[in-house]
Amino acid sequence: MSSLKLGLIGAGKIVRDQHLPAIRQTPAFRLAATADPYASLDDVPAFTEMHAMLDAHPDIEAVSICTPTALRFETARAALSRGRHVLLEKPPGATLSEVEALIELASQQQVTLFAAWHSRYAPGVAQAKAWLANRRIDQVHIEWKEDVRVWHPGQAWIWQPGGMGVFDPGINALSIATAILPAPFFLQKAKLWMPENVQAPIAAKLSFVDAQGAAIAADFDFRQTGAQTWDIHVESDDHSLSLTQGGCKLAIDGEVILDEEEQEYRGLYDHFAELIGAGRSAVDIAPLRHVADAFLYGYRETTEAFIE
Amino acid sequence: MSSLKLGLIGAGKIVRDQHLPAIRQTPAFRLAATADPYASLDDVPAFTEMHAMLDAHPDIEAVSICTPTALRFETARAALSRGRHVLLEKPPGATLSEVEALIELASQQQVTLFAAWHSRYAPGVAQAKAWLANRRIDQVHIEWKEDVRVWHPGQAWIWQPGGMGVFDPGINALSIATAILPAPFFLQKAKLWMPENVQAPIAAKLSFVDAQGAAIAADFDFRQTGAQTWDIHVESDDHSLSLTQGGCKLAIDGEVILDEEEQEYRGLYDHFAELIGAGRSAVDIAPLRHVADAFLYGYRETTEAFIE
């Protein structure tokens, strides 16, 4: 397949840190332009909004949408309506209903829609999934604890409706868990700690169960200082699997079998190219649905104000 | 079709008030037994739980699940696994993920799963839907305001996680709106008023938009005293439609064209029989998804404590 011309909608921090280097390493894509009202990239034609970009570059066949979450739906709808393949940064929407509508539209337009859960491309994920396939799961512990002041400085949006608070990193853990565990699971109980001055939880404790009765516990916390924790531990058939450091390190029965540098966005763009080549879409709504379930069914406890 | 034997799981107030009279008027079903740890019905064989009921009455082919929401998933899963057709009272689950799993299971088991949104069987709904089909919608105002002390006395569960507060009646409005409006719609903004002493909203204001740009506003309030309001007003193509009194009364351009007594559960059981006869399921998750979207994306404002 020759290179497809790609436009980036949004040219903020995640684009400069992750999308840009990954696209430059992916032969399937060639970056043609950006659309962002406030930002641009060196040596890339810049527009302030998507329609102007597509008008000027009608040969752009695919776009990556990396805008703030609340803007993704209108942008994606417009891009799909103009017949472009669309990659959506995580989460794929501010609500579930809008993601369902995009799935329908992509199918009508016969273009690719890809909800990109970047954490699923961490180095150990594929091997963990393969090892767990067809095993009986006894229990799972997900621990995703990071210091919001270190990782999200000044990101006021994360505390607003749609920002999801600690579920912004937590949804990454859920995107891995839903990928590697062999059966779907269901929320039984959730507790959300809500700082009294913001709109999103700073910590959450979730209890799921799968159809075979395995207990899946998740602890998300934005108040972690010191060492940071992005770990999933699985007990299965008298063996244990630990996928730690956000999916970079994999150990079976305590023995490290993989320990690699993160290269998530590289794999993500490869997969986007494959999907376009195959004429398929891939929109797994499960991670966002689990977050919505926690917001719908969770017990909220007010906790001390968050002052950055 | 000869009568199908039906079991009722749960024998509480909604069963005595609505399900029982409707089943007795529906030739397609014959009530065989109930399963409820605390309640029973006169002259109907009573069991304390579903498995004992199905063991004693293996000829029960269908069950209606009218337990508290949090128990529906396990009960429905067990009934589907034993090859029974299942009707689920609204809402069909405490979370979206569990409803998705039930859809999958019903399909595997080749039995009927019916998520029964009773308000869709109000007398004016079908005619409203027919009138609105293919029209251009300009705007919609949903007003669903009732006195929680009158309609839900002593129902502490309604204020707990999963009880959904004002969305317990509000989801009925959403079940009608999603049925009669010709296009799907998406939440843009939501505000939820949370009494400081409970876990669920007492009022909510929602703003949706559909793909053609029609504005759909919903006001839900549990604090209404005096006259009660269960109305949907639609402006369309220079005409207006008002579906009021919970769907019992329909007016077009101010002229009342239908005003009938509520008989929702009668239509609901007829439809369940049709689905079983046709070997189909009908699980529209949209009303619950809109509620989850409002919990996920809504702005919460603390308001005065609710003391019944």
**How far off is chain B from A1, nearest CA to CA, in Å?**
35
**Tokens at residue A206, please?**
């979730």
Quick check: is B270 in a domain?
no
3-class SS of residue B119: helix
Q: What share of chain B is helix, strand, coil (3-state, %, to 5)?
A: 35, 30, 35
Residue of B nearest to A98 (CA): B186
The answer to whether B284 faces chain A, any CB pair under 8 Å, is no
DSSP H helical segments within A85-138, as ranges?
A: 96-109, 125-132
Is residue B45 predicted with pLDDT exceeding 80?
A: yes
- Interface touch A296/B297, C-beta < 8 Å: no
Residues of B designated as active site: 90
Tell me the pLDDT tens digit for each residue of A11-66: 998 999 999 999 999 999 999 999 999 999 999 999 999 999 999 999 999 999 99
Domain match, B16 and B66 both = yes
Res A162: pLDDT: 92
Q: B256 phi and psi, to 5 degrees?
A: -70, 120
CB A31 within 8 A of CB A3: no
Token pair recorded at residue B55: 């063991």
Which residues of chain A lie closer than 8 angstroms to B99, CB-CB?
Answer: none
One domain, residues B151 and B178 = yes
| Residue A71 domain boundaries | 4-116
- For residues B75 and B129, state if they share a domain: no
Report the pLDDT value the prediction gives residue A2, as an integer from 0 to 100: 76
User: Nearest by CB to A186, which of B98, B190, B291?
Assistant: B98
Name every chain B residue with its beta carbon within 8 A of the beta carbon of A73: 186
The answer to whether A92 touches A80, Cβ cutoff 8 Å, is no
Categorise residue A291: left if φ over 0, alpha if ψ from -120 to 50, beta otherwise: alpha
Among A82, A116, A150, identify where a domain stops.
A116
Going by C-alpha positions, the residue among A255, A223, A229, A219 that lies closest to residue A240 is A255
Nearest to B62 by CA among B16, B5, B110, B15: B5
Does residue A179 lie within any of the structural domains?
yes
Q: Which residues contact B135 (CB under 8 A, 6 or more apart)?
A: B182, B236, B237, B239
Q: How many residues does chain A have?
A: 308
Q: Does A287 sit behind a cis peptide bond, omega within 30 degrees of 0 on the bond before it?
A: no
Q: Exactly one of A90, A129, A145, A191 is catalytic; which is it? A: A90
Say if residue B141 is in the same domain as residue B215.
yes
ipTM: 0.95
Contact between B73 and B45 under an 8 Å Cβ cutoff? The reply is no
CA distance B63 to B44: 14
* Other beta carbons within 10 Å of A236: 18
B159 part of a folded domain: yes
CATH number where B190 lies:
3.30.360.10
Is the CB of residue A78 less than 8 Å away from at least one CB of chain B? Answer: no
Dist. CA B7–CA B15, nearest whole Å: 12
Task: Look up residue B250 and give its amino acid.
Answer: L
Average pLDDT, chain A: 96
Task: Report the CATH number that the domain containing residue B70 is assigned in CATH.
Answer: 3.40.50.720
| Mean pLDDT rounded to a whole number for chain B | 96
**B32 Cβ contact partners less than 8 Å away, ≥ 6 residues apart:** B5, B6, B7, B44, B45, B57, B59, B60
Using CA coordinates, name the residue in chain B closest to A97: B186
Distance CA A187, CA A204 (A): 13
> How far is the alpha carbon of B97 from chain A, nearest alpha carbon, in Å?
6
When pLDDT is cut at 50, 70 and 90, the band that residue B1 belongs to is low
**At residue A1, does pLDDT exceed 60?**
no
Chain B residues within an 8 Å CB radius of A97? 184-187, 286, 289-290, 293
**A96:B162 CB<8 A:** no
How high is the pLDDT of residue A277?
97
Q: Which candidate from A73, A97, A286 shows the least CB-CB separation from B290?
A: A97
Does A287 fall in a domain? no
Residue A157 scores a pLDDT above 80:
yes
pLDDT band per the 50, 70, 90 thresholds, residue B86: very high
% of chain B beyond a pLDDT of 90? 95
Instruction: Tell me how crowded residue A279 is: count the other CB atoms within 10 A of its CB.
Output: 10
Find which of B71, B96, B104, B187 to mutate to test the A interface (most A CBs within 10 Å of its CB). Answer: B96
Residues B190 and B81 grouped into a single domain: no
Mean pLDDT over A267-273 rounds to 96
Q: Which residues 151-170 of A have a C-beta within 8 angstroms of B?
A: 161-162, 164
In the predicted structure, residue A72 carries a pLDDT above the cut 60 = yes
Residues B99 and B125 in one domain: no
Closest residue of chain B to A302, computed from CA coordinates: B196
CB contacts < 8 A, A to B, total 90
Note whether A285 contacts B: Cβ–Cβ < 8 A: no
Is the Cβ of B96 closer than 8 Å to some Cβ of chain A? yes
CB-based contact, B101 to chain A, within 8 Å: yes
CA distance B294 to A196: 20
Domain end call among A71, A87, A116: A116
A184 near B CB under 8 A? yes
In a domain, B128, yes or no: yes
Q: What token pair was written down for B66?
A: 């009218």
**Contact: A98, B186; criterion CB under 8 Å:** yes
| B18 and B104 together in one domain | yes
**A85 pLDDT higher than 70:** yes
Task: Using DSSP, state whether A149 is helix, strand or coil.
Answer: helix
* pLDDT above 90: residue B97: yes
Q: Are A37 and A107 contained in the same domain?
A: yes
Asked if A201 and A236 sit in the same domain, the reply is yes
**Listed residues B95, B116, B137: the one ending a domain:** B116
CB A48 within 8 A of CB A7: no
Q: How far apart are CA B49 and CA B67, in angstroms?
A: 11
Show residues of chain A in contact with B187, CB under 8 Å: 94-95, 97-98
- For chain B, what is the domain count? 2
Are A211 and B293 a contacting pair at CB < 8 A? no
**Over the Cα atoms of chain B, what is R_g?**
20
Do residue A290 and residue B97 have CB atoms under 8 angstroms apart? yes
Q: Report DSSP state, residue B122.
A: S
**CB-based contact B97 A291, cutoff 8 Å:** no
Say which of B95, B211, B298 has its CB closest to residue A161: B298
Is a pLDDT exceeding 70 seen at residue B73? yes
Is B189 inside any structural domain? yes
Region B281-299: mean pLDDT is 98
Query: Which residue of chain B has the CA closest to A160?
Result: B299
**Cβ-based contacts of B68 with chain A (< 8 Å):** none
**The pLDDT value given to residue B263:** 87
- The answer to whether residues A187 and A83 belong to one domain is no
Query: Per the CB < 8 Å rule, is B211 touching A101?
Result: yes
Contact A297 B73 (CB under 8 A): no
Domain for residue A268, yes or no?
no
B94: nearest CB among A73, A184, A297: A297
Quick one: pLDDT at residue A91?
Answer: 96
B121-152 pLDDT per residue, tens: 999 999 999 999 989 999 999 999 999 999 99
Cβ pair A295:B292 closer than 8 A? yes
**Residue B39: band (very low, low, confident or very high) from pLDDT cuts 50, 70, 90:** very high
In a domain, residue B167? The reply is yes
Residue B94 near chain A (CB below 8 Å): yes
Please indicate, yes or no, whether residues B49 and B91 belong to a single structural domain of this protein: yes
Contacts of A231 (CB under 8 A, 6+ apart): A141, A142, A143, A144, A242, A243, A244, A245
Give yes or no: residues B153 and B299 share one domain.
Answer: yes
Let me know: does A67 contact A7? Beta carbons within 8 Å. Answer: no
Answer yes or no: do A97 and B295 touch at CB < 8 A: no
- The answer to whether the beta carbons of residues B306 and B194 sit under 8 Å apart is no
